[in-house]
Every structure is written in structure tokens, then in C-alpha cells.
Structure 1
Amino acid sequence: MKISIEWLNDYIDTGKDIERLAEDLTLSGSEVEEIERPFERINAVFSAKVVERKAHPNADNLIVCRVDDGNGLHTIITSDKTVSEGDFIAFGSCQKASDVNGHVVEPLEIRGVKTDGMAFSLQELGLEAHSEGIFKFEKPVEVGVDIKKLLDLEQTVFELEITPNRPDCLSHIGIARELSAVRRTKFKIPKPSVDFQQGDFPVLIETDKCLRYVALTIKGVTVKDSPLWLKRRLSSVGLRSINNVTDITNYVMMEFGHPVHAFDLEKVNSRIVVKDAKGGEKFVALNSKEYTLNGGETLITDGENILALGGVMGGKYSGISLQTKDILIEIATFDPVNTRKTSRKINLSTDASYRFERGVDPNDTFDVAKRIAQMVISISGGKIDGIVDVYPTEVKSKKVFISREKLSSYMSFTPNENEVEEIFDYLGIKVSQNGNGWECIVPTFRPDINQDVDLVEEFARIHGLDAIPSVMSMPFVKGESNSWWEFKNKLRTLSTSCGYFENVNYSFSDPKVEELFGDTFKRGPKLLNPVSPEMSLMRSSLIFNLIDSLSYNVKHQENNVKFFEIGKAFEEKEEERISFAATGAVSTFDYTDKRYEDLLIFKGEIESIFKNMHIDFEFSNEDMAGFENGRCGRILLNGKKIGIIGQISEKVNEFFDVDTPIYVAELKIEEIFKNLRPFRYESYSQYPSSFKDLSMFVKKGEIRAAEIFKTARNSSEYVQDVRVVDLYTGKGVPQDSYSITIRVTYNSVKKTLSDQEIDSAFSRLMELLESMKGITLRKVR
């Protein structure tokens, strides 16, 4: 939320130190995320006087003016024919001046007439969403003065992060109250001297989702352009000016935090009926979009027509226009939960719904009504006709008791009683001593305070968390060794040593992503109240979040990505897993290494991580949804499936908008942990080893290379190592086969092997391989 410092000064003296102000608000809990100056990009724009006006010689719809900016005469061309000699305007010369967006004025030649400057409109100065003509001062001003000084555009705005439990801070008055408590200074709330008489306009509430409804009718108003000061304030906090009546409702919302809506009284059919939608109704909002209602939404009607969607937005056909003479102003309070559901169901979020969703104080309604009545009458004219207040069940202030003992216990020191009462008083909490503590009456604008620990927190944050003394609350206790955590920490160390960066993601997933993987994973549990549709399931795999993170990095020019995550997945049961995702170059920092990640390299990296734990995997081919056919499979440990590995399918790549191959793997680490064994060390052989190479044709699809290696390793007790030294397809090799050469190393830790022993073992290996279907031996060396 944006807060204007100039505006805030109406209620409290903020001082001149902006950085100190930002620090005070941040430490109190209203974090200042950014300090903005919304008009800072306006440069070299000055007041100027029109000294000559004439028609354009070659264009009927344009006029040519000569203006004096104090440094000489300049030529401008405009289509605004309301400009007259003697007008004072905002002018900027070419190549020097820039508008609110930083666009520099360029010289133009229009039908033979050259310009050397430009007259600015309020739109170009950031004070209107759309301007019909150039800006003209109402009264004569000094020529050559910076427009930012003349229009008071040297504004500072804070972008605040307000936590969802603090709806009272969604206003300038709310922030002023916080600042007054932090600085122990008084602040003021507007108290207009406006008298209301009881109105007779019928208001019926037929739903429990509207807590209070006040209808204020004012007749004889003049709807027109808003004054400049009002436009400036709304623009500084990101709201566009529409007309004076609508702008006043937005102004009061930003002032009090209570959304207000104005209807054209002539378009309201003699009464207001607040009721629930049945479902299927059509509603055209002020944004001109039509919405189909689901049922349960709060409707503001005249008994027949829908005038507004309660807590969200007004209707197009009952809104304020330039022809409006009489208005009905709604100051209502709607149920936060229902407003949130309505906003999400129809996918419409507004400044009003943002506040109603978090909770609006129903008991500030008359203060808001008086303020808006005062502003409408002073700016738009008119006369108050009457006010109707329907308040079915009064929301009363809560009473909360806090004991001295509990406050001292939580604070680790004994607070000064005067300070306690002073802080609560500044926060609007009425406090009185009662026995061994304080009885506190919590105002209704603080729905977050419900118990004594909430009062402890209020005292602590205003007293200053940095001012709380540090004490040792308990003696040091040495923790016991935990083999499960040590195992996971070792996994992290080994993964990072292989170039993988750890991810920590939410435990939720997008149903659309899970659909892409079909039955590869069983769908995770559905959330009853998801944060968003894209996070409505408990994730059944960590892979989904890793691919999303990888995609984000690739789209931001980080093309070489290796991620891993250790966390819980929710399939048939909740279990911890480790997942890996990789794409891009194998060695990022070695320019001589031209290799890119592929399935075999990726598989080798996964194997190397777990070989450090003396864990040996087996792999079996299996086509799975979400993966490229023939390039994926299961990971097995002792014959049991504990994970998957493979290349992500092109369809999944397209969904995440990534055009490079992505390789992923996921393993159940609890199964791996169960199979950990104590490390065994064997003495290194002091005797020489010998190797033999064996080449063969292998038919594709009939036998896996892993079976060849397993057969070779088990063919003799003297086999020390088996590895591939050549793999070839092409000339001389049948199309349905590939040629592979393996090197078998023989050794013994007890003696030097004789040629006869080696030949015998090798012959045994050849016999075994020849008996296997799909293998044709080629040569022996």
C-alpha cells in the first residue's frame, strides 16, 4: 500500500528525516519496502505565458502558439483550441524536458511548422488518466518557475507491506496512529462539524453478510473535474482521477481505510435491498465487464436491479456521471470471508475488496460519513438530504485482561507501568488497572487483538524489540546426535559438491502440472482453502517445483541450471524425497568443455552422489507420462523401486516455456536410509592387474547394457572392474544393433594371476555372453 508523506502530515508531524521515518514504521511492523518519488522523472518543465496564438497555416485542427518561459520565446503546436493569449501553461523545451514517464520532448515539424518545445497536459504530468487539453493555470503565475514547485509535485511516497492481520494500517490515519505510538506524539483525526437528520430512504438488509449499511443522500451536487490538490494526492498513491464525487470517495477510503461508494440517486429505484446472490445472475461492473455470479455473493440492489457487488465493485449503470445531480453514498461493512470468496470466484480484486477482505471497522461509519459529506459539499456543492443507518447486530469492543506477571515473564524484564498504559493509550486501547494487571478495552478497528499475548506483542513492538534486554532463558543443553539429520546433511553436501544448488519450495502444486504427468504420480490431496488455483494441491512430487524454478532461471538468462531439493511429497502417504533437475552446460566455468547435460551424464552424477554412501543403484527402462519415451525409467535399490529418472517431455517443456532439454530424478530417501550399511574397508591389492577388451554387437531393445556389466562382474571372483571403452553405430554395424567394447580388469589381493587363470576366467565370461539373447561377440584382444 502507498502512503503519501505530504498527506500523512495532515494528521501528524512526520519530521524532515525521511529515512528515520521509514525506519520507525518498519520497526513498528509496517515495513517500508520502497521509498518512491512519483513525479521525480518530470524534468525541465516550467511555467510559461502564451504571448501569441494563431491558426496553423496548413492544418485547420491545429493552432500555433509562441510562449515565453523566461528564457526566450518558443514555438508550440497544439490541437487544444481553448488556449488563448495571456494563458499560463506548463512548458518544456526540446531535448531538455521530460514527462512523468521520463519521455524526453523531441522537436517536431508538422506541415511546415517546426516546434522547439511542448505544452504539457495533466496526463503528461501524471495527474490525470486522460486529458482533453493542455494544462492552464487558473490564475497568473510567475514565468520560468519549475512546475514541480508550483504544483507541489516534489512528493515522497512509501510503499508499505502491511500484514493481513492489520487492516487498520490500510489508511493514512491508521499509519498516523502507529507513528504517534512509536514517537509518543499526538495525532489528529478530521472531525467535521456536520449535522445529519434522519432520512427516510428505505434500506433493507436480507443477509447476514452485511454487518452495517449507512445510506447518505445529498442533493444538488455538481459533478465536474476535481481540484488539482485532490488529483495530486490520489495520483501520488496510484489512484487515477475520475470526477470530483468519485475522487472524494477514493480520498476518504485512503484516509480512513473504509471503502465508500456513490450511486446516482436517480438510477436507484427508491430503495436499497442488500441480499445474497442466488447464482446465475449477470452483473456489469464499473470496469464494463460482465460477470456471472455463482451464488452467495452479497448484492446491493434496488429490489430489482443489481447496483453493486457488495465489498468489491459498483455497477456500471448506477454510477456517477456528469449529468448526476443527486447522490446516494454507501458506507457499509461486509463480511471479510465472503468478500474474499467473491473476489476470488469472479477473479476481480479492487482497492475496496482488499480492505473488506481483511476487515473494516463498522464503528467508524459515522466519522466517515461526516468526512465525506463535508468534502462533497465543499467541493461539489449540494445539500444533505438525510442519513439512514441499519445496524442489525452491533459489533462491540472486546475486553482483554493482561497481568503484570505475564507481561514481565514474556518481556524478560518488569516494564514501567506508566509506559504500559501510555503505549496502550496511543494505540487507541482504553486501559485501567484491575488487581494484578490491566483491563483493556480493544477498539473494533483492531480485530487482531483477542487475548493477553496479543497485548504483550503490542507493548513489545512499540517499546522496541531492540530495547528488550537479552537474557538466557534456559541452561545450555547439548543435543543428541541424530543419524537421520546427519544423513540428510550429507546428502546436501554431496549434492552441492556435484554442482547442484539447493531449492526450498512450497509444498503445493498446480493441478495443471500434475495432469501433464498423468499416472506417473498419484494425485496429491486437494486443499480446502488454497492460496491460489496454482497452489491448490499438496505436491505429489518435488519435481514440479524444481522444473518451475529451473524455468524461471532459464527465462532470466541463467541457462546452466542444476537444482536439488530435499522435502516431503504427498502421494499415497507423506514421505521425504530428494529431487534433482538439470539443464545446460556440464561444466559452466571450463570454456574448453563443450559438453551439455544429457541423460547419461545426469545419471552418472546421481550415481556418484550415492556411491559416496556405498549405495549402488540399478536402472530399468519404463515409459512414463511427462517424460520422453525411451529416455526415462525407474531407479531400483535391492530390486525395489525407489525413484525415477529421465528427460522431461516436450509437452512439459512447452508448458513451462523452456526449449532446452531438462533432466530430472527423484528418490525416496527413507528407503535409502534403511539400506545404509557401515563402511567396509578392504586392503589394496599389491599384485599387478591385467585387462582384456571384448567387443560385441548388441541388439537394441533385447538386452540392456546393465545386464552385460552385471554378468561380467559376476563371471569370476577375479573381476576387479568393468567399464565401456567404445560405443559405435554406423558402417559395418547392423541397423538394429550397436557395437560396444567393454574392458574387464582382473586382479587378486592374494597373488599374481597366471595367464591360465585369466584366460580361463575370460573364456567363462565369453561363454556366458554368447548364451545371452541379443549378443554377438566380435573379437578378443
Structure 2
Amino acid sequence: MKFSFGWLKSYLRCDDDISLILNALNDLGLEVESVSDPSTQFSNFIIGKVVKVREHPNADKLKVCTVDVGDSRREIVCGAPNVKLDMGVVVAMPGTFIPGLGKKISVGKIRGVESYGMMCSEFELNISNEHDGIICLDQPKVGRPFTDWLKINDPVRIDHVIDIAITPNRPDALGVRGVARDLSAKGVGEFLERNPAKISPKFESPIDVILHKNVSLKDCPYFVGRYIRGTKNNSSPQWLVDRLESIGIRSISSLVDLTNFLTIDSARPLHAFDADKLQGNLVVRKAISGEKIEALDGRIYELDQSMTVIADDKRVHSIGGIIGGMFSGCTEDTKNVFIESAYFDPISTAMTGRKLGIITDARYRFERGIDPSFTIPGLDYYTELAIRTCGGDPSGLVSSGDNPHKVKPIAFRQEKVREVTGINVPRKRQIDILSKLGFKIEKKTESVIVEAPSWRPDIGGEIDLVEEIIRVTSLDKLESTPLPLKNRGVGEVNQSEIRLNANKIRRYLASQGLKELITYSFIDESSAKFFGEGKEEVTLINSISSEMTHLRPSLFPGLLMASKKNLARGMSDFSCFELGEVFMGPDPGQESLEVSGILVGCNEDRSAFQGRRDFDVFDAKSYVEGTLKNLGINLDSLQLDRKVPSFFHPNKSAVVRLGKFKVLGVFGELHPNIALRMGIKHCPIMFSIFLGELSGTKVKLKRTGIGNSEYPSVVRDFAFVMGEKVEVHKIISTIRKIDRELIKEVNLFDVFEGPQAERQIGGGKKSLAFEILIQPKDRTLGDKEIESLCDKIVLEVGRVSGGILR
């Protein structure tokens, strides 16, 4: 955000030195990035007076002038047609750098006559493009620096230009008015409120403004306009040219320059249409896919149906909140103008600008959130200036929609400032700060009721008011207070069960070869909906970008975006995990700790000794079970079912439960539709473990140790034919429950299904083969005991699943 010191002082009555202003800006959080002093380029130029003029002996168009520069007189050869006796001039001595020419001058011989300097034009001083004559100074003080003359006669030329960095939560500081208001609250000068003059309409506008039904109230809730007829769009007055050119904006014409002026002056972008080039009314609507517009930057943009545009009956004339069209732009021939002032949604504006690759001052402000209540005052201010500079008669206002600003009273306890920060700010000073910042205040018995101004969308609660008071008071007043030391040395760190489990999980997964990632907690709105499972999305009030507008309800969006980027960069095989917070609501306590992983590509490195295979669901299952086992969870107590979240593949995923209600984790393949929406070609394998559900889990692993028994073990294989929809984990769980003392392991080692199985064992069936380890602790099992146990296994499996021994 650039502005000149003089521009700032148009809103701030202040005699303070610029260094004090700069320090105050930094203290307020409006970080000064740079300060340019134009006077430095004029520092080596001095004022002279022409005391003698004679013709050049060898050139008709040149003159040899004797110039008094104070301490001496110098002969200078000059070709300017306006040079004359007693003329005050700007002189560059030999060795001076000429900014307009980009080089230093030296003593030179011009057509046989030596010249000891240069009398400069505005072009040579980089003031303007005027180079037909040299500068003529009134009342020159010979020998004095040229900057002395500028300070009195043309101070704008040497006005400091300040560039400050604005954080996304301060859209009001993107206007000189807002910066001055902050400084005034800090006690640097007096804020000069400039309310626009009341506009008396002369006629009804022949053009109306309409919000189309396909534009939601969120995209453009408020659209206002005014017609001005009989204007003369001539060159801008000098004050306007000086304001804009001081910050690097080229003057075009009065009607156009005024829109640029309001953007910087009051953070209020507007657009001026040549009314004679419009057909019918102006409508804010969604673009038709494939629709095109030639914008004011000379480029042609193809639009899609997500973009908000302003159009008439024939064509699109503006991309809402970003840039106008060339066809209806104002030119020197414009006689009638229609001025648009609207409020466009920050997120949709940012997304459109990003898609089209357009960066403008208007977009920069709209995507941060402009002041909705300044929509009409901003239009009135423009009208006042336009009539003053270009003439014409204004119409009445035409509008559609309503001001979206909603007043939210905040109960503010003034003692909160000291409680939170330790800084003692007198209550009267607190009220003074908030009042000068534009807050409305109503005193109550135990608290103060505060209403934030419409230009501060970042203010949402009491703690924000504390921040404002301390920001203006100065963070330099925070006192360093050492923490109390009860014991010397490093004490024992007490960690919660969840954090202890988190550290164990992190170490285990890393030992399995997975790489740990840390992704942003902020995601876009569509991802929040896909992975939120119907829960209310948690929206950020001051998002840092259009792709980071919501708190994540799951770790998967960040991991999937990371996998997409890795795949785009040629990394086809990788496995990674993240351990972090997810959010189920905006209130404290509505977050939980999870670990999620993602597996892409092949499970093994290329090798001459073994083949490669892709990651599958069973890899994810093994990571989940291995993690839970490492935490001491008895795997025999777990159950699997297919009631998985909607973003998982319904037939290649499972939920891990402990009992009916406690979900410990989930694993499976990403749903193909989600992969398609996110632009991921191959569906990754994913898993999650919910640490909050592990806390207080009582079912622990019994560490009996299979190899510790001195009695021989027995291994038996069973193959059962059963329905193809019977779930494996139910069979394993059933077998284990038959005799937990003897049956130590149940492993599935073969699955026979598909067309060949249909021919051999019948349609709709499959064969499952299990290896069962039987290990006694206190005796050697006899044949009858083993046969009896095997019979129980066959009977129980048949009872639960209808399976028969193959």
C-alpha cells in the first residue's frame, strides 16, 4: 500500500516529523516496507540566473549563456528556444547525474565552444515528458539548492512516498483514510473526517441495476449506481495527477483517474462505464461458460459459470470486483457516464482472479473485504469530484440488494486488558482509543457494549478489542517477567495419555518406513464439505487465501494434496503419515487428535530378487493393527465393519471398532469420485487412528508369550466353504472365542473365490483357509482333546456363518 506523505496529511492534521510517523506506523502493526525521498535525485542541482546571452558562433540554433550560480559564473551552451536574459534556471554542474538521461554530465565542447554545465528541462529532471524548453523559475535565489525552491513552490515533487505492508485482516488500512485513522488513535495528529457532499439528483437514471437470480446474496449482496450526463472527460487537474503519479499510477483522464484515486484514498474501488455504449440495464450475473471479454489491460479472458460479471443486454462489461471491459471504458469522447459501486464476495473474487491470473488494485481490496457501508458514500464522493472536474448533472441512485453489514454488539470488560496483557491502560484511554478507531460505545454498569465499525470485519469478540487497545498503546510496554523457578534443573515432564500414545504412534510408523508430513490446518470449502461427513464447516473469519477458508475436519485433504503434488513431480511410490488436530466445530474442545496415513504406488523397491506389488487395503490394515498392538490394545477384542465415511470406497474399506460404539480407526481406498474431483489419477490407500478414542481404553494385550510354554504346540488347517459376503474378521473372532486359553493364533492363508470357485463350489460362495495355532500351558494335549477342539471349531463356524468344512 503506497501513499505520499502529503496525501496522508490530507486526512491527518499533524506537524510531526516523518520519522515519528514511520515509527508510529510500525508500532501499530502497519509495517513500513520502504520510504522513498524524491528530493535525493534533485540534491545536486542548484539555482542559477542567466546574466548574458549571445549567439553561438558555429550554430544558428544554439546560444552561449553566462549563468550566475552564486559562487561563480559559468558559460553554458544551450539549445532551448525559451532561454532568455534574467531567467531563473536549474543548473547541473559537471559530474552531476541527470535522472532523465540516466548518466552524468561533464565539461564538453559543443560545436567548438566549451560548456561548463547544463540548464535542465523537466524531462531531464524526470519530472515530466516536457523537453521543448528549460525550466523557468520565478524569484530564483541564486546559488541555493533546487530542493529549497521545490519545498516552497512545488512540495509535491519532493514529497516522501511510504510503502506499508498490510495484513489480510486489515482491509481498511488499504486506504489512506484508514491509515490516518489509526495514527490519530495513537495520538499522532488529528483525524480529518471528510464526508462527501450531499448530491442533489437532477433526473432519474435511464439505466437500472439488477441482481440476477443466479447470483447468490453471498456473491454480490449490494449493487448501486448513478448516471452522470453532460461530462467533459478532459485531462485531470494537477492535484489529482500529482497524487496518482507520486505512487506510480499513470494519469489517463479525469473520469478514470478518479476511480483510481478513490481506490487508494478510501479503499473503495468503483468502475466508470461510458453510458452511451451500454444497451439496456446493468445486470450482475454468473458468466456463461465460454463467454469472453476484452479487459482494460488489453487481454481477452474466457469466463466460466463460477465467475460473477456485470453485463447489459448484449455483452459482459466487467468482471465483478476485478477489472472492467475495454468496450465500455471511458475515453476523451465520453459524454455520459454510469458509475458502479458494489460489494463483491472476497472468496469468489479471489477465486476468479486466481483462475484468470488477473491482479488489480480492485481485486486486492475486494478479496480482503471492503467496507460495505461505504458503498453509497463512496459513490457520492466520486460524483462530487467528477462534477467538480468534468461538469455534468447527476441522476438519482439506483440500487439492488442491501448492505450486508450486520451489527454485532460485544460486551467488553475493561479489566480484561490488564488480565490478558499485564499492561495497565487507563479506562478513559481505552474508550478514547476505541472511539477514535470508529467503534461505537455504550457504557453499562459492569461492562461496556461496543459495536465494531463496518470497515473492521476482523473484530469478532472481546479479545479483539483487547488487541486493538494494546496495538495502539504499543506492545513495547509489555514487561518481561521471568517464570517462577520452584526447582533448579529440568523437572519431569508430565504428558497426557493421548500425547504419550501420539509419541508411540509417531515412532512406530516411522520405524515402518512411513515419512511424517505436516500440512496446513486450513483447507478450502469444497474439501471441508467432502471430508466433513455432513457436519457444519468451521469457517475462518480472516482467511489468508481462497484455498484456506475452513478448518480441516480430517487430515486427509492435506495428505491428498501432498500426494497429488508428489505425483505431479514424478514421485510415483511413497507412503506418509501426519499426526495433528482436526476440528468438528468452532468452540473450544471441539477438536481431537488423529493420525492418518496415505499409501501410493508400489510397496517394495525394485529388486532382482523379488517382484513388486502395489499398496493395497491390507497394507493399511496392517499399519492400523500394528499401531494398536504397539499401544497394548488386544486385537482379539476388535471388530471390523463396513460403515465407513462416504469418502472411502464402500467395498474396499473398513472401520475398526471396540464394542458397538467406540471407533478406533478406519482404513481403505479413497472413493473414486473424490479422487476424480481432486484430480488424482489413482485412488490412494488411506488409514486413520483416532487418538481421542484410545484414551482410557481398558482392553489391553495379554502378554502371555507363545514361546514360553514347555509343552508342544499343535497346528491345524481348516478350509471352510461359505457365502461370499461373510466377513473374514467374524470367522477369526468366532474361532478365538471358542477357547482363548488354547487357541493362540488364527491366520487366514488362502482365499478361493471368483469364476473358478463358482464352477467348483457353487455360485455366491467362497473358500477361506485358516491356520490355527493351539498352545497348551500346563499339559500335553491328547488326540481326543485336539479332535474335540477341532469339532467345536467346525460347529461354531457353521453356526455363525453357515460355513461347512471343505
Instruction: State whether residues 51 and 65 of structure 1, in contact with CA within 8 Å, keep that contact through their aligned partners in structure 2.
Output: no
Following the alignment from structure 2 to structure 1, what is the Cα–Cα distance between the partners of residues 54 and 178?
53
Change (3 A) 1:316 1:453: same
- How far the C-alpha of 1:69 sits from its partner, in A, is 6.5
Residue 3 of structure 2 aligns to which amino acid in structure 1?
I
> 5+ residue gaps in structure 2?
504-516, 522-543, 550-557, 580-604, 609-806
Q: Which residue of 2 aligns with 1:183?
A: 187
Change (3 A) 1:121 1:243: farther
TM norm structure 1: 0.56
Instruction: State whether residues 13 and 190 of structure 2, in contact with CA within 8 Å, keep that contact through their aligned partners in structure 1.
Output: no
Instruction: State whether residues 280 and 313 of structure 2, in contact with CA within 8 Å, keep that contact through their aligned partners in structure 1.
Output: no
Q: Does 2:358 align with 1:348?
A: yes
Tell me which of 297, 300, 322 is aligned to 1:287.
297
Residue 32 of structure 1 aligns to which amino acid in structure 2?
V
Residue 171 of structure 2 aligns to which amino acid in structure 1?
P
Instruction: State whether residues 214 and 389 of structure 1, in contact with CA within 8 Å, keep that contact through their aligned partners in structure 2.
Output: yes
Change (3 A) 1:135 1:426: farther
Following the alignment from structure 2 to structure 1, what is the Cα–Cα distance between the partners of residues 87 and 389?
24
Q: Which residue of 1 aligns with 2:16?
A: 16
SS at match of 2:12: coil
> 5+ residue gaps in structure 1?
489-503, 509-526, 548-569, 577-618, 623-781
Instruction: State whether residues 277 and 293 of structure 1, in contact with CA within 8 Å, keep that contact through their aligned partners in structure 2.
Output: yes
Instruction: State whether residues 48 and 68 of structure 1, in contact with CA within 8 Å, keep that contact through their aligned partners in structure 2.
Output: no
Instruction: State whether residues 69 and 143 of structure 1, in contact with CA within 8 Å, keep that contact through their aligned partners in structure 2.
Output: no
Instruction: State whether residues 200 and 386 of structure 1, in contact with CA within 8 Å, keep that contact through their aligned partners in structure 2.
Output: no
Q: Which residue of 2 aligns with 1:451?
A: 461
Q: Which residue of 2 aligns with 1:103?
A: 102
Instruction: State whether residues 54 and 64 of structure 1, in contact with CA within 8 Å, keep that contact through their aligned partners in structure 2.
Output: no
- How far the C-alpha of 1:113 sits from its partner, in A, is 10
Following the alignment from structure 1 to structure 2, what is the Cα–Cα distance between the partners of residues 112 and 380?
52
Residue 367 of structure 1 aligns to which amino acid in structure 2?
P
Q: Does 2:401 align with 1:402?
A: no
Following the alignment from structure 1 to structure 2, what is the Cα–Cα distance between the partners of residues 424 and 119?
52
Change (3 A) 1:101 1:121: closer
TM norm structure 2: 0.55
SS at match of 1:318: coil
Instruction: State whether residues 277 and 295 of structure 1, in contact with CA within 8 Å, keep that contact through their aligned partners in structure 2.
Output: yes
Q: Does 2:164 align with 1:160?
A: yes
Following the alignment from structure 1 to structure 2, what is the Cα–Cα distance between the partners of residues 244 and 56?
44
Q: Which residue of 2 aligns with 1:265?
A: 275
Cα distance per residue 1:171-203 (max 9 Å; x no partner): 111011100111175311222433232534211
Change (3 A) 1:141 1:202: farther
Following the alignment from structure 2 to structure 1, what is the Cα–Cα distance between the partners of residues 29 and 477?
15
SS at match of 1:125: coil
Q: Which residue of 2 aligns with 1:117?
A: 118
Residue 163 of structure 1 aligns to which amino acid in structure 2?
T
Tell me which of 190, 203, 208 is aligned to 1:202.
208
Residue 196 of structure 1 aligns to which amino acid in structure 2?
S
Q: Which residue of 2 aligns with 1:300?
A: 310
SS at match of 1:307: strand
SS at match of 2:376: helix
- How far the C-alpha of 1:347 sits from its partner, in A, is 0.8
Instruction: State whether residues 168 and 446 of structure 1, in contact with CA within 8 Å, keep that contact through their aligned partners in structure 2.
Output: yes
Following the alignment from structure 1 to structure 2, what is the Cα–Cα distance between the partners of residues 320 and 18?
38
Following the alignment from structure 1 to structure 2, what is the Cα–Cα distance between the partners of residues 58 and 280?
68
Tell me which of 240, 265, 273 is aligned to 1:230.
240
- Aligned residue pair count: 512
Q: Which residue of 2 aligns with 1:480?
A: 492
Q: Which residue of 2 aligns with 1:4?
A: 4
Q: Does 2:229 align with 1:219?
A: yes
Tell me which of 353, 356, 366 is aligned to 2:376.
366
Cα distance per residue 1:361-401 (max 9 Å; x no partner): 12112322232222222223333244323333542332222
Q: Which residue of 2 aligns with 1:332?
A: 342
Q: Which residue of 2 aligns with 1:645?
A: none
Change (3 A) 1:284 1:33: same
SS at match of 2:42: coil
Residue 447 of structure 2 aligns to which amino acid in structure 1?
G
Residue 471 of structure 2 aligns to which amino acid in structure 1?
R
Following the alignment from structure 2 to structure 1, what is the Cα–Cα distance between the partners of residues 384 and 8?
20
Q: Does 2:390 align with 1:380?
A: yes
Following the alignment from structure 1 to structure 2, what is the Cα–Cα distance between the partners of residues 93 and 435?
70
Following the alignment from structure 1 to structure 2, what is the Cα–Cα distance between the partners of residues 187 and 65?
53
Instruction: State whether residues 77 and 110 of structure 2, in contact with CA within 8 Å, keep that contact through their aligned partners in structure 1.
Output: no
Following the alignment from structure 2 to structure 1, what is the Cα–Cα distance between the partners of residues 337 and 136?
28
Following the alignment from structure 2 to structure 1, what is the Cα–Cα distance between the partners of residues 175 and 325?
25
Change (3 A) 1:283 1:137: farther
Following the alignment from structure 2 to structure 1, what is the Cα–Cα distance between the partners of residues 55 and 320?
52
Change (3 A) 1:113 1:462: same
Change (3 A) 1:194 1:530: closer
- How far the C-alpha of 1:18 sits from its partner, in A, is 2.2
Cα distance per residue 1:663-683 (max 9 Å; x no partner): xxxxxxxxxxxxxxxxxxxxx
Tell me which of 315, 323, 338 is aligned to 2:333.
323
- How far the C-alpha of 1:51 sits from its partner, in A, is 11
- How far the C-alpha of 1:449 sits from its partner, in A, is 0.3
Following the alignment from structure 1 to structure 2, what is the Cα–Cα distance between the partners of residues 366 and 229?
24
Instruction: State whether residues 56 and 64 of structure 2, in contact with CA within 8 Å, keep that contact through their aligned partners in structure 1.
Output: no
- How far the C-alpha of 1:360 sits from its partner, in A, is 0.5
Cα distance per residue 1:646-705 (max 9 Å; x no partner): xxxxxxxxxxxxxxxxxxxxxxxxxxxxxxxxxxxxxxxxxxxxxxxxxxxxxxxxxxxx
Change (3 A) 1:305 1:328: same
Q: Which residue of 2 aligns with 1:357?
A: 367
Cα distance per residue 1:402-452 (max 9 Å; x no partner): 234544432336653222221111111111123421111111100000112
Instruction: State whether residues 88 and 141 of structure 1, in contact with CA within 8 Å, keep that contact through their aligned partners in structure 2.
Output: no
SS at match of 1:33: strand
Instruction: State whether residues 216 and 388 of structure 1, in contact with CA within 8 Å, keep that contact through their aligned partners in structure 2.
Output: yes
Change (3 A) 1:66 1:232: farther
SS at match of 1:120: coil
Residue 294 of structure 1 aligns to which amino acid in structure 2?
D
Following the alignment from structure 2 to structure 1, what is the Cα–Cα distance between the partners of residues 169 and 303?
28
Q: Which residue of 2 aligns with 1:733?
A: none
Residue 203 of structure 1 aligns to which amino acid in structure 2?
V
Q: Which residue of 2 aligns with 1:174?
A: 178
Q: Which residue of 2 aligns with 1:752?
A: none
* Aligned pairs for 1:624-639 within 5 A: none
- How far the C-alpha of 1:340 sits from its partner, in A, is 0.7
Following the alignment from structure 1 to structure 2, what is the Cα–Cα distance between the partners of residues 161 and 26?
10
Following the alignment from structure 1 to structure 2, what is the Cα–Cα distance between the partners of residues 87 and 333?
58
Following the alignment from structure 1 to structure 2, what is the Cα–Cα distance between the partners of residues 113 and 322?
47
Change (3 A) 1:123 1:380: farther
Residue 434 of structure 1 aligns to which amino acid in structure 2?
K
Change (3 A) 1:451 1:222: same
- How far the C-alpha of 1:141 sits from its partner, in A, is 6.0
Following the alignment from structure 1 to structure 2, what is the Cα–Cα distance between the partners of residues 65 and 271?
63
